[in-house]
Amino acid sequence: MGAFLAAATGFPTVVFTAALVVVVLFWLVVALGAADAHGHAHMHVNSRAHGDGWGLGGVPVTLVLSLFVSVGWLISYCASVLLVPSGPVGVLVGAAVLIGTVYVSWRATKLFVRPLHRLFPDEPGPSRLDFVGLTCTIRTGRVDAAFGQAEVRAGDGSAAVVQVRLPAGDTAAGVLGSGSTGLLYAYDEVGEFFWVTPYPPDGELGPGLGLLAPPGTPG
């Protein structure tokens, strides 16, 4: 056991050991339900590995990194035990082993990732326009033409805090406050905020709700 710990915490394996600890902790969080395997842990890392030129694209980046670190740790550990001597020479050999391990691990991860592409078909990324037409909960004490935030829940159950605004002079400025419900009826791409209105208007969903348009839109 002592020899194992010495090799795992010695150079160069310690570099991959530290990364492996992070990977293991992440997947433990996933297992406990605080995140998902695509990386939703209130930090939204559900991105594909943007490394098509490196042969690592098409699968969640968390999976790619987990494979890379795991393979790298195994190679580095074995190489350290078999090749790296003690003393100053061991530092030079360890540096060479580290560089070689990174390359071999990348090549191995590339081979592992390739057959996994079919398990992760391309899907369009989420868009802010997907929130238009959804109800939201106001999270600020007021909402007006210059200020306001709300929490909106997407169809997949994930929540996001977005900027919301009311047209200047809108009488709803005194109605929308923290905890009240609003309807996101348009998105301003320049200002990067949503136009919001109380929901339902006047306490009852009116037939003209679907005709709402952003301020300044020609009638």
Residues 126 and 159: beta-carbon distance below 8 Å: no
Q: How far is it, in rounded angstroms, from Cα 149 to Cα 151?
A: 7
DSSP bridge partners of 195: 165, 186
Q: How far is it, in rounded angstroms, from Cα 136 to Cα 153?
A: 7
Between 41 and 135, whose confidence is greater? 135
Question: Among residues 180, 207, 1, 16, which one has the least CA distance to residue 98?
Answer: 16
Grouping H, G, I as helix, E, B as strand and the rest as coil, residue 39 is coil
Q: Is the pTM of this model over 0.75?
A: no
**Percent of the chain with pLDDT strictly greater than 90:** 37
- Give the pLDDT score at 57: 61
- Give the pLDDT score at 68: 93
pLDDT in tens, 64-85: 899 999 999 999 999 998 988 8
pLDDT in tens, 114-125: 887 677 665 555
With b for 16 or more beta-carbon neighbours within 10 A and e for fewer, the 160-174 pattern comes to eebbbbbeeebebbe
pLDDT in tens, 139-165: 999 898 899 999 998 877 778 899 999
Give backbone dihedrals phi and psi of 164, rounded to 5 degrees, phi first: -130, 150
- Give the pLDDT score at 154: 81
